[in-house]
Amino acid sequence: MTDAHIVRSRLKLLALFAVFALPMAMAWGMVEWRLGIPDERTAHGTLHPDIPTLSDWPLSQVEKEGADDWLMAFDCVSDCSESADRWWRLHRALGRDAHRVSRLRIGGAESKALPGESVVAWRDMPVWREPGTLWILDPAGRPVLSYGEGVEASNVLEDIERLLELNPEPPMARLRDE
């Protein structure tokens, strides 16, 4: 064997070790020194873990379209028809995933409910309520995100699409609802 052949063989062996060891070293560095790990939030809404589940809200009869539906609940204080239309348009923008979301309008019973929307009223005003708020609730009725009045609908749409993507629909859910 020539010296050049031995050197080439050793370089190939070192390259093989590097292929397997380098990713492990990079992962260790990312964990240890938090390099390359994003710190920012991806949701536009606010988390409120202190808000009770929907079943504990002081509301009149609440109905969802499907048992596995996410819920957009919005507190309507003024100009309810405009708010209802805004959230109806967002609901339609979900496209093929629109059937996975129900809408609940709290207040504004004087204006007619839009298709796919339930209208209820507060029995008592809870202390955590903020007028004009939109809440996104998971299928179990737990509040996931909330948005203040005047939030951009595109931000809410982006968050809902992300939630639906991260929580895929069970394969037989549509058949069960029918």
Residue 74 DSSP label: E
| Distance in angstroms (rounded) separating the CA atoms of residues 128 and 97 | 30
Query: What pLDDT sits at residue 99?
Result: 87
Average pLDDT estimate for 22-41: 80
Contact status, residue 120 vs residue 62, Cβ threshold 8 Å: yes
Q: Which two tokens stand for residue 10?
A: 């050793």
At 75-93, the pLDDT tens digits run 988 778 888 889 999 999 9
Neighbours of 24 (CB within 10 A): 9
Pairing of strands 117-120, 134-137: unpaired
Query: What pLDDT sits at residue 64?
Result: 66
Query: What pLDDT sits at residue 92?
Result: 92
Cα separation values, 160 from 12, 71, 124, Å: 50, 10, 28
Average pLDDT estimate for 132-148: 91
3-state secondary structure of 154: helix
Name the more confident of 42 and 55.
Answer: 55
